[in-house]
């Protein structure tokens, strides 16, 4: 890479210092570390975990920037040595390549500046039109997202997994824990369409199937949600999903019905009724928060005299297995013929393409 190349990368690094607010992050991290060092910090376990996680995210962001700065310093040093000895050209190019790759990651991180983007996510898959086929499609998507989360190094906790009648899943809800999990997975919200030869049709006819994906943030403890448990009907029942002996032989599953809104949440994959209830309340709060945010957005658009495009229930991506093989995102227009890899969790390019598209809007 030429001298102009290193100058361009140096400018990108300077820009990253600004849009990532590195100095502010360092100051904020110092304040959090003071709290963590306090003798009574762990007296409130829930708050302590939240502060520790926030500090960890800040530390990771600062470290990534400092690594990029280190690659730039290495490139400068190799450039000076290269002027006297061409043997350092390979070291110079290697440092620039590492710097470029790190800058790509830093610039991607800037897309996740929303209030909850850096945090955990609750992802639900529900069958749409297509009967048994839709249940099978729901299980395929559940597996795809589980594999994708694992490839990103995120932790997956199954909150609800209801087997379908005969094949597939009637619904699935997972909590995904990891840095930028909600920010990344926001790209998946909407309707996913599958076209293939039906595995349940004796005549092997082509079938079109739908499933919807909902993505919600796991709300931090400092977010207030107007939830009166007197408005919630609590039902307990025996789990129908996979699990240990205790899960399947006791009334450990919990269904919460928020009467004013009609929102229903179930959780059955923990072994105790209390754990399932706590997880269900967490999901219900996220749904109520999202509902209020959507109402506020609709009110704003109404005042502006604009018609809001409703993304909920809209088709966002096609997965075609027959008569040809292709996955195409209808927003970013990214497509690939390697359907098997995508269904096995190789979603990174689609997630990145969506966020590039969203940033350009």
pLDDT in tens, 284-338: 999 999 999 888 877 766 654 443 343 344 689 999 999 999 999 999 999 999 9
Half-sphere exposure of 223 (CA within 13 A, CB side): 15
Domains of the chain plus CATH, in order, are 3-109 (1.20.58.410), 121-218+313-360 (3.30.70.1660), 229-304 (3.30.160.20)
Asked if pLDDT for residue 229 goes beyond 50, the answer is: yes
What is the per-residue pLDDT across 113-148, written as a single tens digit (0 to 9) for each? 788 998 899 999 999 987 889 999 999 999 999 999
End-to-end CA distance of the chain: 32
Report the pLDDT value the prediction gives residue 1, as an integer from 0 to 100. Answer: 46
**What b-and-e string marks burial along 116-128, b requiring 16 or more CB atoms within 10 Å of the CB?**
bbbbbbbbbbbbb
Q: Residue 117 in contact with residue 183, Cβ under 8 Å?
A: yes
Cα(70)–Cα(242) distance, integer angstroms:
49
The mean pLDDT value for 150-172 works out to 93
pTM above 0.95, yes or no: no
Report the pLDDT value the prediction gives residue 307, as an integer from 0 to 100. Answer: 39
pLDDT bracket for residue 281 (50, 70, 90)? very high
Q: Which percentage of the chain shows pLDDT scores above 70? A: 92
The mean pLDDT value for 87-112 works out to 88
Question: Which of residues 248 and 289 earns the better pLDDT score?
Answer: 289
Asked if pLDDT for residue 352 goes beyond 70, the answer is: yes
The mean pLDDT value for 238-260 works out to 71
**What b-and-e string marks burial along 245-274, b requiring 16 or more CB atoms within 10 Å of the CB?**
eebeeeebbbbbbbeeeeeebbbbbbeebe
Phi, psi of 311 (to 5 degrees): -80, -15
Report the pLDDT value the prediction gives residue 311, as an integer from 0 to 100. Answer: 35
CA 166 to chain CA centroid, Å, is 30
The mean pLDDT value for 236-247 works out to 60
Cα(184)–Cα(181) distance, integer angstroms:
5
- Residue (of 70, 106, 76, 101) closest to 91 by Cα position: 76
Cα(92)–Cα(79) distance, integer angstroms:
6
Cα(7)–Cα(13) distance, integer angstroms:
10
Cβ of 336: how many Cβ atoms within 10 Å?
15
- Residue (of 241, 253, 239) closest to 162 by Cα position: 241
Report the pLDDT value the prediction gives residue 246, as an integer from 0 to 100. Answer: 41
Question: Which of residues 156 and 80 earns the better pLDDT score?
Answer: 156
């Amino acid at each position: 890479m030429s001298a102009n190349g290193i100058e361009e990368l140096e400018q990108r690094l300077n820009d990253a210092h600004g849009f990532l607010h590195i100095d502010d992050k360092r100051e904020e991290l110092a304040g959090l570390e003071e709290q963590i060092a306090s003798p009574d910090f762990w007296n409130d376990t829930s708050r302590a975990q939240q502060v520790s996680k926030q500090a960890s995210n800040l530390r990771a962001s600062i470290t990534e920037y400092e690594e990029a700065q280190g690659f730039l310093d290495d490139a400068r040093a190799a450039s000076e040595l290269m002027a006297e000895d061409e043997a350092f050209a390979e070291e110079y190019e290697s440092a620039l390549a590492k710097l470029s790759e790190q800058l790509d990651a830093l610039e991607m991180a800037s897309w996740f500046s929303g209030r909850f983007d850096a945090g955990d996510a609750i992802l639900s898959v529900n069958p749409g039109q297509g009967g048994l086929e839709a249940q099978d499609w729901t299980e395929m998507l559940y597996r795809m997202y589980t594999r994708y989360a694992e490839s990103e190094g995120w932790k997956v906790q199954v909150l609800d997994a209801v087997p379908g009648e005969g094949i597939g899943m009637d619904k699935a809800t997972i909590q995904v824990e990891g840095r930028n999990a909600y920010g990344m997975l926001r790209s998946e919200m909407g309707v996913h369409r599958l076209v293939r030869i039906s595995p349940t049709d004796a005549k092997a006819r082509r079938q079109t199937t739908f499933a919807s994906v909902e993505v919600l943030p796991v709300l931090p403890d400092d977010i207030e949600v107007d939830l009166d448990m007197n408005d919630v009907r609590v039902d307990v029942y025996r789990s129908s999903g996979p699990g240990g002996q205790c899960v399947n032989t006791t009334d450990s599953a919990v269904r919460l019905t928020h009467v004013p809104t009609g929102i229903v949440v179930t959780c059955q994959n923990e072994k105790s009724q209390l754990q399932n209830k706590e997880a269900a309340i967490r999901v219900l709060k996220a749904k109520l928060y999202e509902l209020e945010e959507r109402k506020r957005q609709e009110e704003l658009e109404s005042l502006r005299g604009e018609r809001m495009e409703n993304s909920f229930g809209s088709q966002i991506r096609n997965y075609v297995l027959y008569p040809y093989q292709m996955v195409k995102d209808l927003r970013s227009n990214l497509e690939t013929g390697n359907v098997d890899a995508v269904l096995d969790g190789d979603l990174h390019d689609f997630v990145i393409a969506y966020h590039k598209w969203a940033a350009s809007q």
